[in-house]
Amino acid sequence: MENTLDRLKKWVAESNNIVFFGGAGVSTESGIPDFRGEQGIYNTLSEYGVSPETILSHTFFENNKEVFFDYCRKHLVFPQAKPNAAHYGLARLEAEGKLKAVITQNIDNLHQKAGSRNVLELHGTLYRNYCTVCGKRFDMDYVLNSKGIPHCDSCGGVVRPDVVLYEESLDMDTMEMAVKYISKADILIIGGTSLAVYPAAGLINYYKGDKLVLINKSSTAMDSRADLVIHMNIGQVFDKILG
Ligand SMILES: [Zn+2]
């Protein structure tokens, strides 16, 4: 493992065109559970009788807004969560001009909290909310502090988080930017994702370099394609290579 970390450390030291692509595993070390994980599914099934994927779908949102917002407030939003070593390490690499973009599937704002500026949020963010009628913007506190279904204080329309629900399409501009950064990257570091969920698997195909790094606690279906595979906690990895 030491040799692998040494190699990554050397690559990172030599590059000024690193792109990071991250999934839920980046945030679990900050205490945010993966809603697709066993515990998340178990909790949701026992409390609501349906899976997290069902609740976080467009159809469910349209038909069961009370339950949707109850689930969001109780199980999806973690205002106390703090960035970990991976978030801070990535922000530092960007500040040093070495990292071009963070592409994330997470909706928790932790990269920005750590100081990252160029963050492409493929699935949107819970920290932006908007009125579905007039488009007025609201912060997360507005939703957290309202009871039941949050309504717009201007027009009374329903306010919803700017996240991509199941059955909804990804923002094409964000996707195009992600493809652009990945296709030009010198090093692509992928962390905290099993690469099973769309669009992660597809995005890798745009990478043309020879330094594809995969950091995940357990092995993934893409391990054989990577130039470097590290099965460790991602925070630990950043501690070792930047500490
Ligand atoms: Zn409105």
CA of 18 to the centre of ligand 1 (A): 40
Reported as a pLDDT band with limits 50, 70 and 90, residue 196 is confident
What is the 17 CA–ligand 1 centroid distance (Å)? Answer: 42
Task: Check whether 136 has a pLDDT greater than 90.
Answer: yes
Buried b (16+ CB within 10 A) or exposed e, 141-166: eebeeeeeebebeeeebbbbbbbbbe
The mean pLDDT value of the chain amounts to 94
Cβ atoms of residues 94 and 117 within 8 Å: yes
Residue 74 has pLDDT above 90, yes or no: yes
How far, in Å, from the CA of 93 to the mean position of ligand 1? 40
Residue 2's pLDDT band, with cuts at 50, 70 and 90, is low
Q: Is the pLDDT of residue 201 over 80?
A: no
**Is 199:182 a contact under the CB 8 Å cutoff?**
no
CA gyration radius for the chain?
A: 18
Task: Return all residues near 38 (Cβ < 8 A) that are at least 6 apart.
Answer: none
Percent of the chain with pLDDT over 70: 98
If you measure from the C-alpha of residue 82 to the centroid of ligand 1, how many angstroms do you get, rounded to a whole number?
32
Which of these is catalytic: 87, 111, 123, 231?
123
pLDDT at 53: 93
- To the query of whether residue 231 is one of the catalytic residues in this protein, the response is no
Is the pLDDT assigned to residue 183 strictly greater than 80?
yes
pLDDT for position 36: 82
What spacing in Å lies between the alpha carbon of 219 and ligand 1's midpoint? 46
Res 117 pLDDT > 80 = yes
CA of 145 to the centre of ligand 1 (A): 17
Judge contact between 204 and 190, C-beta under 8 A: yes
Q: What is the pLDDT of residue 34?
A: 87
* Tens-digit pLDDT profile for residues 30-65: 999 888 888 888 888 889 999 999 999 999 999 999
